[in-house]
Amino acid sequence: MHLIKLILYLFFGLSILIAAYSVIIYTVTKPSTARDWEYGQEKTSVVTLGEKKPETLIHISNLRNFDWSETDKPAWEPLNFPLSSLSKLEVAVSHFSSMSELAHVFLIFSLNDGRRFGLSIESRREKGESFSLLDGLRAKYEMIYLLASTDDLLGLRTQRNETVYVYPIKATPEYIQALFLNFSSKINQLNHSPELYHLFFRNCTNQIVKQVNKLSDDNYSWLVQTFAPGNTGKTLYRMGLIDTDAEDFEQVKNQFILK
């Protein structure tokens, strides 16, 4: 019991130190939109809402649709659809490390006509930079809300031999549409008011949860969204949010692993 208390105290103290350090870094570091960005992050998306006649039309500029097996053929495309056609939502969890707690989490939206696209919240790196945990802690990177085709996002992860799970989420079309509008506002905001990425406090998972919390009272684990995004699937299953009849989480993983 004493050992557990000691570990908890150490963890709490470390969290305070990291938070204090992050406040200092965020105070002195100024994010920018004008840098020589890494391949695949040169552009940012813009979401435009049309008039409600008879329904709201969505126009996305700069949707990334790269074929990562051919890096000399970048493709940034438009995407147009009625807001009401957004009908399904999935959460993708891509494990890039032997540590199961580490993963990249992103969303996949589906339209009634079968088209799908994703939203991936990432560190935005300058050309030649690679992602490191240390630089993620010291706010070296800007943050990007990247809209891309599912072929792009999933293809990139499978090419890296990452283990990817795509979990269908229980949600009404109205909820999914409202969530997309929330993200759209944030995407457009970042185009003129950039923000810094942080490995713990502004990462792929807690930025998603932040928008979800505006629409839902679900109590998503702070520890998972901050320190262990690789446990996202298990957390969603325990919350009853994955659309499945599986009897345990191992069955869920086997059902929704990307093959």
Residue by residue, what is the 3-state secondary structure of the chain? CHHHHHHHHHHHHHHHHHHHHHHHHHHHCCCCCCCCECCCCCCCCEEEECCCCCCCEEEEEEEECCCCCCCCCCCEEEEEEEHHHEEEEEEEEEECCCCCCCCEEEEEEEECCCCEEEEEEEEECECCCCCCHHHHHCCCCEEEEEEEEHHHHHHHHHHCCCEEEEEEECCCHHHHHHHHHHHHHHHHHHHHCCCECECCCECHHHHHHHHHCCCCCCCCCHHHHHHCHHHHHHHHHHCCCECCCCCCHHHHHHHHECC
Mean pLDDT of 230-238: 96
Confidence class of residue 137 from pLDDT cuts 50, 70 and 90?
A: confident
Among 137-141, 237-241, 249-253, the range scoring the smallest mean pLDDT is: 137-141
Q: pTM for this structure?
A: 0.88
Mean pLDDT of 57-80: 92
Confidence class of residue 218 from pLDDT cuts 50, 70 and 90?
A: confident
Mean pLDDT of 99-121: 97
Q: Which of 134, 85, 137 is nearest to 111 (CA)?
A: 85
Q: Is the pLDDT of residue 227 over 90?
A: no
Q: Which has the higher per-residue pLDDT, 74 or 204?
A: 204
| Residue 54 confidence (pLDDT) | 78
Q: Is the pLDDT of residue 191 over 90?
A: yes
| Residue 47 confidence (pLDDT) | 98
Angle ∠(29,32,33) on CA atoms, nearest 5: 165
| Residue 53 confidence (pLDDT) | 72
Mean pLDDT of 186-205: 95
Mean pLDDT of 88-93: 99
Mean pLDDT of 153-160: 95
Confidence class of residue 171 from pLDDT cuts 50, 70 and 90?
A: very high
Q: Which has the higher per-residue pLDDT, 16 or 216?
A: 216
Q: Which has the higher per-residue pLDDT, 32 or 132?
A: 32
| Residue 122 confidence (pLDDT) | 97
Q: Give the rounded percent of residues in the chain with a pLDDT score beyond 70.
A: 88
